[in-house]
Structure 1
Amino acid sequence: MDLTLALKALIMGIVEGLTEFLPISSTGHLILAGSLLNFTGEKVKVFEIVIQAGAMLAVCWEFRKRIASVLGGLGSDPKARRFALNVVIGCTPAAALGLVFAGSIKAHLFAPIPVAMAFIAGGLVILWVERRNRESPSAVRVESVDEMTPLDALKVGLAQAFALIPGTSRSGATIIGGMLFGLSRKAATEFSFFLAIPTLFAATIYSVYKSRSLLEMSDLPWFSIGAASAFVSAFLCVRWLLRYISSHDFTVFAWYRIVFGFIVLASAYGGWVVWAE
């Protein structure tokens, strides 16, 4: 395998793992990183989706006891069945809309400039929701994922659907959407993690199946490097984020998004960086 290709796959995997579960958009960062590395093309788009599975496995490992408890209790535990139902409901809007609009979104929005604009818009939304929660703490009515109703799950699922727009951030849409609809920061973050499991699994399987004619056995090594590095970096990031939210809000991520978005726009229009589409 080409050493340069392996290094690019490693970098992209690290970027994926560090950004997948933070409200800063992993897809947006992958598009920008791929552009800077001159790592683009249809096969790379499949790669970017496949390595999300590596990041998702980190969540499976971190919450393995909870997942095993839910799966084991589906036949007898009403709480486990309600939790599983909420996850299914939460995944449905994005899955349905993705099947309809995925082609158009990839054709028109998977580019640095739209991503930068989504970064800025998402950052402004985070600032608004965080300010709203500070001024109205009584708006929080769901402290734990176990207290969520199917309607809560549907609302978060509708928020997650906005993440079909590159640069919006799947985790950001679900976490901030959950907070907007009355979930505590902890409940919204944990539910975002659990929604990631079926969402990213399904996206990976669908993408590989749809693009199977592009893939070859020789692609397996660099796909594996990307997935493995995404797993390790995502595991570290999830551990850190769970500690971080216990005493911090998401304002710092909002300003990061806004500043980074303006830097990308300025570099593009000023000609400092030639961003590949």
Structure 2
Amino acid sequence: MDFLKAIILGIIEGLTEFLPVSSTGHLILANEFISFSPKAFDNAFNVIIQLGAILSVVVIYFNELNPFAKSKVEVNIGGNNCGACGASGAVTLKRKWDGRDKKTMRLLAKIIIGVLPAVVLGFLFDDLIDKYLFNKVTVSLALVFYGIVIIFMENRNKGKSFKYNDIDEIPIKTVLLIGFFQCLAMVPGTSRSAATIIGAMILGCSRTTAAEFSFFLAIPTMIGATGLKVIKMGFGFTLNQWLIILLGSVVSFIVAYVVIVKFMDYIKKHDFKVFGVYRIVLGIVVLTSYFLIK
């Protein structure tokens, strides 16, 4: 039964991590019906399986993120360039960088800069947020509020051209501001993807550029957040619990991979309004059920 729970929660994580609908919010809601015992393991599971989803970004965008993917290694033997020759002499290896490599380095620098606000604020307020904001009321209100923001933003952008159609075009100041927008997602139900996409689009990024930069910011942000929580929780899991975590992570990786590919195809032709409507409907349903059951 626990392995079935792991599969279901892995699917939920993979489906929602990179869509602007809040994966944490969905997992909190899912845990009302599906959860593990003890509670400490349940919390650890929800955090660690995010790494599976994050790995899908690394795999899909490996060439864009790897500064050595497009560069060439030049072999120099005895002072002469040589490929597969048998000449004797000193052998030196020199990596040739081209413009694409430099673009990758600029991307990595922007990812580091963009994640700095989340590192500082996350470290300062992580415990307070866990204690006071991880509940259904907060999640539902955040779902509704940012659903309205998404719809308002898309109506505002209708017919307008975007200033930045490639991450390489985004200035450092704007990158840092997007990083601060990402911090809004510290409130459960906001959605890290929604916060960064909204911020990036408000600051002039196209939909695809905003979404891709959101994916890239997720890598260090979620690895750091996961690492922080795991350190606090400890690693004292049984073999069975580790297998459950592994299964959930693998499922979240596979589902997230498919979702990212389909999501990028979707937003090339459509806006984000459907996600705004979904958030509002889900938030209202959750809030209503909370007060009725209460």
Q: TM-score, normalised by structure 2?
A: 0.86
* Structure 1: distance between partners of 2:96 and 2:236: 41
Q: Give the share of equivalent positions with the same residue, in percent.
A: 40
User: How much has 1:215 moved relative to structure 2?
Assistant: 3.2
**Hey, what does 2:145 align to over in structure 1?**
121
* Structure 2: distance between partners of 1:75 and 1:120: 51
- Bigger strand fraction: 2
**Hey, what does 1:67 align to over in structure 2?**
65
User: How much has 1:70 moved relative to structure 2?
Assistant: 6.4
**Hey, what does 1:81 align to over in structure 2?**
105
User: How much has 1:87 moved relative to structure 2?
Assistant: 0.3
- Bigger helix fraction: 1
**Hey, what does 2:180 align to over in structure 1?**
158
**Hey, what does 1:13 align to over in structure 2?**
10
> Equivalences for 1:147-226 in 2 at 5 Å?
147-212=169-234, 214-226=236-248
Kindly provide the CA deviation profile for residues 136-173 of structure 1, in whole angstroms up to 9, marking residues without a partner as x: x14x2111111111112101100100001100000111
AA aligned opposite 1:258: I
Q: Which of 109, 113, 116 is the equivalent residue of 1:92?
A: 116
* Structure 2: distance between partners of 1:125 and 1:42: 34
- Closer, same or farther: CA 70–197 of 1 in aligned 2, 3 Å: farther
- Closer, same or farther: CA 38–133 of 1 in aligned 2, 3 Å: same
In terms of mean alpha carbon deviation, does 258-267 or 199-208 score higher? Answer: 199-208
AA aligned opposite 2:31: G
User: Aligned to 1:60, what secondary structure does the other structure show?
Assistant: helix
Which structure 2 segments of 5+ residues have no match? 72-94
* Structure 2: distance between partners of 1:75 and 1:112: 54
- Closer, same or farther: CA 45–21 of 1 in aligned 2, 3 Å: same
AA aligned opposite 1:87: I
User: How much has 1:42 moved relative to structure 2?
Assistant: 2.5
AA aligned opposite 1:132: R
AA aligned opposite 1:146: D
* Structure 1: distance between partners of 2:169 and 2:237: 44
* Structure 1: distance between partners of 2:26 and 2:273: 19
Kindly provide the CA deviation profile for residues 7-60 of structure 1, in whole angstroms up to 9, marking residues without a partner as x: 111111100000000000000000000112244722211211110000011111
The answer to whether the 8 A contact 2:54-2:253 is kept is yes
Which structure 1 segments of 5+ residues have no match? none
AA aligned opposite 1:144: D
AA aligned opposite 2:16: T
For the pair shown, the structure with the greater C-alpha radius of gyration is 2
* Structure 1: distance between partners of 2:57 and 2:105: 20
* Structure 2: distance between partners of 1:100 and 1:146: 31
* Structure 2: distance between partners of 1:116 and 1:43: 24
User: How much has 1:255 moved relative to structure 2?
Assistant: 0.5
* Structure 2: distance between partners of 1:71 and 1:44: 38
* Structure 2: distance between partners of 1:149 and 1:82: 11
User: How much has 1:205 moved relative to structure 2?
Assistant: 2.0
Does 2:66 correspond to 1:44? no
Q: Which of 268, 273, 276 is the equivalent residue of 2:290?
A: 268
The answer to whether the 8 A contact 2:27-2:46 is kept is yes
AA aligned opposite 1:149: P
The answer to whether the 8 A contact 1:119-1:168 is kept is yes
Aligned residues: 267
In terms of mean alpha carbon deviation, does 243-252 or 215-224 score higher? Answer: 215-224
Q: TM-score, normalised by structure 1?
A: 0.91
